[in-house]
Structure 1
Amino acid sequence: MKMPSISSIALSLLTLSAAGLVSAAPDVRAELLPCGCAAFPAYVASSGNAGPWSVHADGTGEHIDGIGLIAVFSRGQHEIRWGNLAVNDLQGYATNPLRCVGGPAPGSGVQGLVPTGVSSYTWEPMVAADIPYSSLLMYKVEGTPIEPYALYNVDDDERRPGVFLGSGGYATWGFRRQESAEFGVYWETRLLGANSQDPITGEPLFEGEITGFLKVWG
């Protein structure tokens, strides 16, 4: 299936506005964990796979800490064109699980159980989308693989407990409150790294955006 164009997704996702920092996660150093899927909880050596597990917002200092991910997507006539995982606004709702599939085959690595059709769910590779200023946690688009990271506090070099999702050497995420008739209130989740600043103001965050991490819960 042909991947949607980066420009069409960007137009759908971006709402550019003046930046304003609301809440910030601690400064951390992200270190890629070796051994691929073996770095994740619930790893099974005989299969080379890990999970499934849930992934929660962490370190934001806001009420979304500890809340899991839900799928937000664009519908085509017969299938989902693309989608992203975002943090739900409320506790107590079903969330989309993730897993890690080992091996060199296409589609291996971190996958999410996500909507892909009218009523179907499949395991799809998750990526940090190759979209300027909006590197969301997405599926059915091009991007860089999602990887396991350890996080160390910059001030004392103490490791934060757990395994965290990131990509390309970065593991701090921006969370921005959104609302739609179909998906309700959710927090859009984008990877913060090189060239992720607001293209209009040059500030590191968009208006109302907070920072934090995505922690794996086995």
Structure 2
Amino acid sequence: AQEEGPKVNTTQGVIVGQRVVDGDYLAFYGIHYAGSTAGENRFKAPTPPPVYPGEYHAVDNTVICAQPSSRGLIGTEDCLVLNIHTKNVTTPKPVLVWIEGEEYESTSRTLYPFKNLVQQDLLIVTINYRLSIFGFLCLGVADAPGNAGLKDIIQGLKWIKENIAGFGGDPNNVVLLGHGSGAAMVDLITLSPMSQNLTHKAIVLSGSALAPWAYET
């Protein structure tokens, strides 16, 4: 990456990205779209994102949400960030939001190589959301009302609506794409009134809101 990265003004302040050499596109990693989910906020709906006191260098692509693995629990609770991949920050482009997921429990630490899609003049966003018990525990009480993971994605879509134009995205052309449990979540989000005016198209692969595994826990 080059030393001087692209700068974008957002509702949180100035965000600085980097140019990715492999693929010749711009990347912004680890942008906080919501507040901390640690402590008393653990199972609650996401809170508004922090305001950055100075320029925020969006270069950390290692953040994943807490999840089970063969090595035990990995990731971090304070994980509500998103990543943006774009050819440039000028021309308005369709926004493709990739919702990854395996059985509502895990996502990959490795980012997909989005360079081919970016070169087709698409802006790609990936959204971290709470997983497993952190994202889908429902006790029917104020401290754990349920569906935190889905609410995280809705919060991410709100952030996109407010800020994506500065990154070269069209806020009026947002497409959700999901596979497996990610596809079921995309289906559920499009059915929810909470997503009104936040998304415009959906691509659902190998999953749906009607699949028994999508709602049986």
Q: Normalised by the size of structure 2, how large is the TM-score?
A: 0.27
Q: Looking at secondary structure, tell me which structure has more strand per residue.
A: 1
Greater relative contact order (CA < 8 Å, ≥ 6 in sequence)? 1
Q: Normalised by the size of structure 1, how large is the TM-score?
A: 0.27
